[in-house]
Amino acid sequence: MPNPQYADIIAETMAFLTVCLNPTLQKTLRFSSIAPGAVNRTNIHRLDVSGKGINVSRVLTQLGKKVTHLTQLGGVMRPLFLSLCAEDSLTVEWVESGSPIRFCYTVITETNGNVTELVEESEPVSAGTGKLLLEKFDALLSGNNYLIISGTKAAGFPDETIPLMVEKAKKRGMTVILDIRGKDLLESLRYEPDIIKPNLFEFALTFAPDMVKDNSLIEDERTKERISALSLALCEKYKCRIILTRGAQTVWAVEPGLFFEVHPAAVKPLNSTGSGDAFTAGLASAMENGADFSTAIAEGIRCGALNARCLRPGVIDEALFH
């Protein structure tokens, strides 16, 4: 159920359907310092339900929006995952996948401000999970006005799973926001999603792989010019607006015929995990409120910055949830 604090607001708003096919249990540990090769202990740690779509859903909920999250779940950690979702007032629909929920770890070191991510790859979903998921997705489309798909999908899903979701949503007149990359994004563009929001590295990896070497973006004096030309061409061809987040640097954005930058305020981050998802939630919330494109981006930046100040990933106010 939605957060009771926002019940009256939610009743008057349109609804969001969020999708992420790689659920996560996120362990966050904060150390004053770390000695490599030694035993390191901390009493500052927490466990949260996570994954990009859950983070988006949690922030949308904190912003007073009605949200349903769709995912796949399997394994012995599923009751814990669902229990943590319930504690956060998240409405979750899921299909049995046979894929154990993965753990990911955020290690924060106070002395140097480093945030280190340790990510488990998920196990493949069982045969037939994609069919079950699309059946559940079809049942959830009615009554929702926005579709937000975030992150990668676990192995075992058919290639057409995410593009089919985009096609079905657009046929129903829904606003579609995609924070995905690679083949999923390339195959979804033909259905003209409203906004695509990869970070700059993911955009280059998808559309200009020669700009990536050893899992890092190769930047030079022509990077901005090349990305601008490429994104403007994509915007025109697929009738979608584009947002490229760049960490603490300016956000690059494209709408028909216009490439522009939005400057974020300086932030001293505690934990940046989930800030991109908070950005997506803030952007979508502002759009649903009727904001123009640049104003919606500014709200995304605001929410991303609020998340970065929190120890917990995927929130804009730690006091609202345990």
Q: Tell me: the pLDDT tens digits for 32-47? A: 999 999 999 999 999 9
Per-residue confidence band for 5, with pLDDT thresholds at 50, 70 and 90: very low
Quote the CA–CA distance of 68 and 83 in Å, as a whole number.
16
Closest CA to 145 of 13, 280, 54, 243: 13
Cβ–Cβ < 8 Å for 71, 94:
yes
Q: What is the mean pLDDT of residues 15-28?
A: 97
| Average per-residue pLDDT for the chain | 92
pLDDT tens digits for 208-249? 999 998 888 888 889 999 999 999 999 999 999 999 999 889
What percent of the chain is helix, strand and coil (3-state, nearest 5)? 40, 25, 35
Sequence spans of domains, the chain: 4-32+44-320
Say if CB 57 and CB 34 are below 8 A apart: no
Q: Are 185 and 230 in contact (CB under 8 A)?
A: no
Q: Please tell me the CATH superfamily of domain 4-32+44-320, with its number.
A: Ribokinase (3.40.1190.20)
pLDDT recorded at residue 28:
97
Render pLDDT for 140-191 as a digit per residue (tens, 0 to 9).
998 899 999 999 999 999 999 999 999 999 999 999 999 999 999 999 999 9
| Cα torsion angle, 53, 315, 265, 219, sign | negative
How much of the chain exceeds pLDDT 90, in percent? 86
At 14 the pLDDT is 54
What is the structure's pLDDT at 74?
A: 97
Give the global pTM: 0.92
Q: Distances from the Cα of 288 to the Cαs of 11, 66, 293, 310, in angstroms?
A: 14, 11, 11, 25
CB atoms within 10 A of CB 29: 19
